[in-house]
Structure 1
């Protein structure tokens, strides 16, 4: 190993690997990462196992290169103004990784308000595009601080549609509904259970199942054998540390 990759893998880098895996096998689809770690992860996926993945400059262009996080692109592949972006969302050709102020066991997400909607204790981002995202294209979630404040028994307001809410709405809501995974600073979670409840898919190295249970406000489905999040390869570490995020911005989002 070089001196750069000889350093121990950090928690943030395990999170990058876990988020990048969300786009594995997606093919030519637009990646929409929200947050620093997902942005590093989407670039890593493009440079390694998902070369057909499409990236944007975050505004109105599809970019042809893979600049470091925070750096400007120098290669433009296409024009993607807001109206065309919405068309792509409606057509399912996007995989977004959103954040969440609250998530429940069925994947209902809240980014709108805390408390009763009629008189909230705190106003957040608002519903924004979360309903359309969750009903029309693949969605994953990134939570940099796993806690009972985020992983709650019942969200105060449904912004992103979970599996139980989609089922209650009927076929028009379930037809393209696809929640892939939830990545937090403690582990990876999915909904691969008969009742579509959140399941522990992997723990990041150094994290225990008891830690995750204590930080989650509802019972999690737990398989008999819970693996650890996979180790990054030497090349993946080089890409993360030297190419995609040389300034170490990932470590500002995930505590050591």
Structure 2
């Protein structure tokens, strides 16, 4: 199968591209074509990705400082975002958040609350927090830096973020993509189950299947995640993340 080859990780510029940089680009692509919506990335690589998108192909994106200000890709304050206005964006489908997941299943149900029976869990995690509101009221993607069977499970122990099999009638529910250190996934299937959309260069389809605890939908030819162009690579390395904090999440 041709998709089982391992390619050298080279960008459009011809230089070496790290796995973390492919992940940044994959996260940035989640906001392509979104227009003027609020991007809410959670985590280092999603944050770099959102800022990269704003600097390049998605200039209409709104970014925040995490509190009450709208900022540009460099962090310069552009405006004020009152809490009431923020909630209107959240509830009206005009925000796209990229969250994490301690567990996720084939339909995109996400767990960040506990491991084990929720009535007597083996491990307590963050708690449900805003996951139900996020997933039911605005598009929600996921960033998972360590793809494994412990995360990609047949059935989550507790539903925090709502998947396609549970979101019947939710007007703004949508899961554009799941990005991991191995590849990119979406739900573009007839039954809205997870599909392998792209694999990062150097990763085989077999490795992804082995690291996933449920059957994935896989087409005949799985493309590679697109490489950053020269200017994107420069922005990532020299402007957006000169300290290489991205390597702390994906050190490849």
Deviation per CA, 1:93-141: give whole Å up to 9, x if none.
Answer: 1000000000000000000111111111111111111111111111100
Contact 2:196 2:222 in 1 (8 A): yes
Deviation per CA, 1:218-239: give whole Å up to 9, x if none.
Answer: 0000011100001110000001
Gaps of 5+ in 2: 1-12
Q: Which residue pairs with 1:101 in the alignment?
A: 102
- For residue 35 of structure 1, the aligned residue among 35, 40, 43 is 43
C-alpha RMSD over aligned residues = 1.1
SS at match of 1:78: strand
Deviation per CA, 1:164-213: give whole Å up to 9, x if none.
Answer: 0113xxx2x2x221110000000000000000000000000000011001
- For residue 231 of structure 1, the aligned residue among 227, 231, 235 is 227
By how many angstroms is 1:78 displaced? 2.0
- Taking the aligned partners of 2:196 and 2:77, their CA distance within structure 1 comes to 39
- Taking the aligned partners of 2:59 and 2:162, their CA distance within structure 1 comes to 30
Q: Which residue pairs with 2:19 in the alignment?
A: 11
Q: Which residue pairs with 2:163 in the alignment?
A: 162
Matched, 1:195 2:191: yes
- Taking the aligned partners of 1:178 and 1:66, their CA distance within structure 2 comes to 25
Gaps of 5+ in 1: 68-72
By how many angstroms is 1:60 displaced? 1.2
Q: Which residue pairs with 2:120 in the alignment?
A: 119
By how many angstroms is 1:7 displaced? 4.3
Matched, 1:184 2:184: no
By how many angstroms is 1:86 displaced? 1.9
Matched, 1:53 2:64: no
Q: Which residue pairs with 1:78 in the alignment?
A: 79
Contact 2:92 2:172 in 1 (8 A): no
* TM-score of the pair, normalised by structure 2: 0.93
- Taking the aligned partners of 2:63 and 2:172, their CA distance within structure 1 comes to 22
- Taking the aligned partners of 1:181 and 1:76, their CA distance within structure 2 comes to 29
By how many angstroms is 1:152 displaced? 0.3
Which consecutive aligned stretches of 4+ in structure 1 deviate over 6 angstroms post-superposition?
none
By how many angstroms is 1:62 displaced? 0.6
- Tell me the matched-pair count: 240
SS at match of 2:78: strand
Q: Which residue pairs with 1:66 in the alignment?
A: 73
- Taking the aligned partners of 1:84 and 1:109, their CA distance within structure 2 comes to 27
* TM-score of the pair, normalised by structure 1: 0.91
- Taking the aligned partners of 1:139 and 1:202, their CA distance within structure 2 comes to 19
